[in-house]
């Protein structure tokens, strides 16, 4: 955690400040939960050590500033240099405010105060989360698949540590059953032998059209391929990915001496769009399934249900709120979600790095869609550029244009950066095998390696 910067689900507090702690607790409880770590500055550097007594006192005082109190748990974090105290905050089904009436949510690495309309939207979204834990009428324990459950618990153990408790206890803990073992909505969707028997709307329809319109090859009504996918959510994601990948064009490119497979759409972007559709759709909407539409020039993934809570197209990147927190948590523990709250950012990055336009997100009151374009606007970015800073990219662009670069040239490109930092930048490019150093002292210049 210390190697990461603060974000939607991670906050650093250099001191045991009750007011700041209460604000982070309320914001995380109203959003998707997260971890607050004492004794660390926002840049990840250690502050003065915070002792358990200080943290406990701050936590007790912070609890009195939250309405209603925010449930929390301690987490000790061991680093090479010291032990740190963390406070885990779970996503709450309650709407939490501070003592002064403010309702906060996480926005990037900061807390943001909601407006009146946003508060109403957030309060209304709590009903959706309760839908996950409702017992499914007519469902019995026998409707859950033991093999799927065991697969999930094995993956959960890898992500979260040792497995504690019986299978029945763990299923209740994650909201898959009630205390009597009756399956809930989340349980049937995650582990059901046949979830579509109870929720016909939970399947996926894949349709491929040969051109850029919803028509057959002859211009009439029709399609190239149509599949109806069913099963528990983890299987749905896997089956949808397999179908899309079967239909994707695959080529290759060579960066330096490395041959790289080039798919029609970046793998991560497609996978993330599929996972998001399955995890965040509104399962209360009947009669509509997730639709995957593959055209000659684009891929559209359409999910029933508008954006949840206070989410809008404008805050989609910086803020994160799950309509179905238990389903999201389940898919995260399963390994389908790499890091909660960061998928949209990386989806955009992967598309741009591959030379495509960024994904297009569209939302209405009843649906949300992601559109990925397969047209490349420029060559894909070589992998090694992703480990470079912006200055180094400028340096390489200068070399390509002018044939070589000197330290003096580089200082002209980056006048506000120290000469030593620039020297180390060039040394790093030499070590990466991208530049070749020619000459010495005042005659030193750098050319692309292989020229």
| Cα–Cα distances in angstroms (integers) from residue 37 to residues 1, 46, 105, in the given order | 9, 11, 18
Tokens of 126: 């709590």
pLDDT of residue 258: 56
CATH architecture of 10-113: 2-Layer Sandwich (3.30)
Candidate from 27-31, 36-40, 259-263 with smallest mean pLDDT: 259-263
388-448 CATH, one of 1.10.10.10, 3.40.50.20, 3.40.430.10, 3.30.365.10 = 1.10.10.10
The model's confidence at residue 266, banded by pLDDT at 50, 70 and 90, is very high
pLDDT of residue 254: 54
Three-state SS at 180: coil
Q: For 200-373, CATH number?
A: 3.30.565.60
Tokens of 34: 């997260």
Q: What is the pLDDT of residues 66-113, one digit of tens each?
A: 999 999 999 999 888 889 999 999 988 889 999 999 999 998 889 999
pLDDT of residue 257: 47
Q: In whole numbers, what is the pLDDT of the chain averaged over residues?
A: 89
Q: Would you say residue 129 has pLDDT above 70? A: no
Strand partners, 291: 205, 302
Greater model confidence, 203 or 252: 203
pLDDT of residue 183: 98
The model's confidence at residue 396, banded by pLDDT at 50, 70 and 90, is confident
Average pLDDT over residues 332-353: 83
C-alpha radius of gyration, the chain, whole number:
25
Greater model confidence, 24 or 349: 24
Q: Would you say residue 186 has pLDDT above 50? A: yes
- What 8-state DSSP symbol labels residue 276? H
Report the 3 state secondary structure along 154-173.
HHHHHHHCCCCCCHHHHHHH
Q: % helix / strand / coil in the chain, to the nearest 5?
A: 40, 20, 40
Three-state SS at 257: coil
The model's confidence at residue 447, banded by pLDDT at 50, 70 and 90, is confident
Instruction: Sketch the domain layout of the chain as residue ranges.
Output: 10-113, 200-373, 388-448
User: From its phi and psi, is residue 231 left (phi > 0), alpha (psi between -120 and 50) or beta?
Assistant: left
Helix (H) or strand (E) holding 131: helix 116-132
Q: What is the pLDDT of residues 313-333, one digit of tens each?
A: 888 877 888 889 899 999 999
* Cis peptide, bond prior to residue 68, ω within 30 of zero: yes
36 vs 27: CA distance, rounded Å = 11
Three-state SS at 52: helix
């Amino acid at each position: 955690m210390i190697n990461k910067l603060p974000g939607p689900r991670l906050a650093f507090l250099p001191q045991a400040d009750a007011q700041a702690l209460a604000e982070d607790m309320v914001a995380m409880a109203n959003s998707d939960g997260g971890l607050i770590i004492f004794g660390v500055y926002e840049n990840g550097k250690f502050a003065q050590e915070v002792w358990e007594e200080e943290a406990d006192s701050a936590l007790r005082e912070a609890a009195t500033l939250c309405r209603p109190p925010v449930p929390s748990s301690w987490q000790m974090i061991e680093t090479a240099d010291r032990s740190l105290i963390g406070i885990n905050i779970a996503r709450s089904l309650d709407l939490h405010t501070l003592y002064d009436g403010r309702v906060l949510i996480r926005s990037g690495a900061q807390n943001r105060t909601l407006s009146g309309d946003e508060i109403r939207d957030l309060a209304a979204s709590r009903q959706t989360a309760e839908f996950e834990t409702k017992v499914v009428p007519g469902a019995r324990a026998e409707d859950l698949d033991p093999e799927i459950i065991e697969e999930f618990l094995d993956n959960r153990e890898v992500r979260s540590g040792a497995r504690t408790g019986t299978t029945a206890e763990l299923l209740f803990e994650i909201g898959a059953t009630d205390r009597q073992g009756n399956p809930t909505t989340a349980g049937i969707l995650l582990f059901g032998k046949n979830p579509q028997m109870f929720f016909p709307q939970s399947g996926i329809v894949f349709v491929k059209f040969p051109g850029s319109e919803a028509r057959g090859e002859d211009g009439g009504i029709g399609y190239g391929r149509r599949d109806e996918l069913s099963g528990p959510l983890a299987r749905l994601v896997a089956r949808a990915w397999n179908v899309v990948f079967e239909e994707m064009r695959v080529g290759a490119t060579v960066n330096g001496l490395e041959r790289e497979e080039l798919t029609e759409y970046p793998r991560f972007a497609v996978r993330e769009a599929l996972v998001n559709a399955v995890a965040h759709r509104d399962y209360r909407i009947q009669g509509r399934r997730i639709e995957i539409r593959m055209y000659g020039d684009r891929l559209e993934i359409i999910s029933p249900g508008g954006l949840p809570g206070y989410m809008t197209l404008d805050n989609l990147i910086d803020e994160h709120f799950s309509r179905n927190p238990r389903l999201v948590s389940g898919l995260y523990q399963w390994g389908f979600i790499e890091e909660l709250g960061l998928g949209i950012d990386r989806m955009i990055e992967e598309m741009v790095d591959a030379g495509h336009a960024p994904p297009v997100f569209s939302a209405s009151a009843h649906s949300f869609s992601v559109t990925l374009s397969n047209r490349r606007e420029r060559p894909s970015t070589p992998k090694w550029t992703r480990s470079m800073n912006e200055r180094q990219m400028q340096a390489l662009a200068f070399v390509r244009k002018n044939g070589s670069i000197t330290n003096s040239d580089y200082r002209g490109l980056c006048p506000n950066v120290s000469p030593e930092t620039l020297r180390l930048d060039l040394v790093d490019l030499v070590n990466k095998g991208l530049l070749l150093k020619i000459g010495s002292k005042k005659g030193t210049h750098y050319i692309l390696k292989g020229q």
